[in-house]
Amino acid sequence: MTKRTLQVLITLSLVSASSFAAQERVIRFQNQVRVGYDSNIYQTPDGDGSGYIAEIINLSAKLNFSTRTDMLLYWQPEFQYRFDADPEFLTYQDLYARLNHAISQRLFLTLSDTFRYQQKEGQTGPSLSEYDATYFQNNLMGALDYMLDEVSNIKVGAGYDFRIWDDTNYGEVEGNNFDQIVGNAGYYRQLKPNKTTVMAAVNYSVLDYDGNRGGYDATSLFVGADQNFNPSLSGFGRIGVSMMNVDGENTSSDSTTPYLQGGLEYTTSGRTLLTGTVGYQPYRSENSAYNAQDRFNVGVGARHDLTAKISLTAQLNYILSLYEGSYEANSGFNAPDVKDNYLTAGVRCAYQVNRNNFIEAGYLFRTRSADTTADVDWDSNRVDLGWRLRL
């Protein structure tokens, strides 16, 4: 058993045991059953379609151990049967746990762990088997927040993240399994209580792939602000610079790029919510020929209650991955500069039959295009009709 697998088992055991020690529990359960059709079940240029049946369970709990300690748990298993696919039956898992503890009146500790067993999304490369594109990933994070005075505080944090692929050849032999260590520190100060907060911070990340493929380390320095413009509009912004060193099998390169993060949330009325995010930063590679990427992302979301019983949600996400030739993993490949585009757009409507039951319908469009000689472009359309039980 690997050390990384052992870490996951220990984390899951601690999460399970802690739920019995809580003095107060608030538990919520939700079950969704969806019947639908996906026009490109493997996310490949061939575009093989299949009907499917999916069951998605959401179980969340808020556990209060004392006035100083609480925990949030979230578990979402998904079971999917595909009529014309190989394999026909798939299972996915999402598990999240967060512990908050007030060490003193000034010092606060947060520990979180995110475990995922999922299928690769967006950039499915030609070297990855379309029949076995699943992986499990675990991200363990810790942070300390110290209040200097009534208007300022400092935050420091660290984390360990790793991914292991089901496909042994893709994961171990080709070196796509990875380990990543991150650290961050920041200073925050309120200029106007409950209205304006400014900050300055540094993020550091080092990632290593299995074998002798290499990896990268990146340092981002940035400043920013959180602003409540009025009761209906709030936002945040971060701007700075990122310095990255990418090591390939026999190469090494340095780059300096902008760092950008921002977001807005606007409540137009009691029935409508609009959100938007934008970002540009160094990121791990989703392509086996490279060890890193510069990632630009934009997201837009909306929710509107048409009536007291009918709600409509919509979302659009776009990711532009910029792969420089100097980021290549193997110097013998002579990797070119590549722009890889991935876009998703979806809409979902829910009708509340009664207090606990909902009928839903959804549509999701996904497309990928890249300026490479290999044929990797594809798109898909997914539709579904479902029933949701909420307790």
Top-ranked range on mean pLDDT: pick from 6-10, 13-17, 103-107, 370-374: 103-107
Q: Compute φ and ψ for 7, nearest 5 degrees.
A: -60, -40
Q: What is the pLDDT of residue 381?
A: 97
Q: What is 291-336 written as a DSSP string?
A: SEEEEEEEEEEEEEESSSSEEEEEEEEEEEEEE-GGGBS-GGG-PP
For 312-333, what is the mean pLDDT?
A: 90
pLDDT band at residue 121 under the 50/70/90 scheme = confident
Provide the residue count of the chain: 391
Question: For the segment 23-82, what is each residue's pLDDT rounded down to a tens digit?
Answer: 577 889 999 999 999 999 888 888 889 999 999 999 999 988 888 899 999 999 999 999
Q: Is the pTM of this model over 0.75?
A: yes
Greater model confidence, 18 or 227: 227
pLDDT band for 124, please (50, 70, 90 cuts): low
Confidence of residue 133 (pLDDT cuts 50, 70, 90): confident
pLDDT, average across residues 297-315: 95
pLDDT tens digit string along 328-373? Answer: 888 667 788 899 999 999 999 999 999 999 999 999 999 999 988 7
Predicted confidence at residue 50, as pLDDT, reads 94
For residue 90, pLDDT beyond 70: yes
3-state secondary structure of 172: helix
Report the pLDDT value the prediction gives residue 109, as an integer from 0 to 100. Answer: 96
> Domains in the chain, start-ordered, CATH in brackets?
3-390 (2.40.160)
pLDDT given for residue 21 in this prediction: 58
Above 70 in pLDDT, residue 231? yes
pLDDT for 99 beyond 70: yes
- Phi, psi at 173, each rounded to 5°: -70, -50
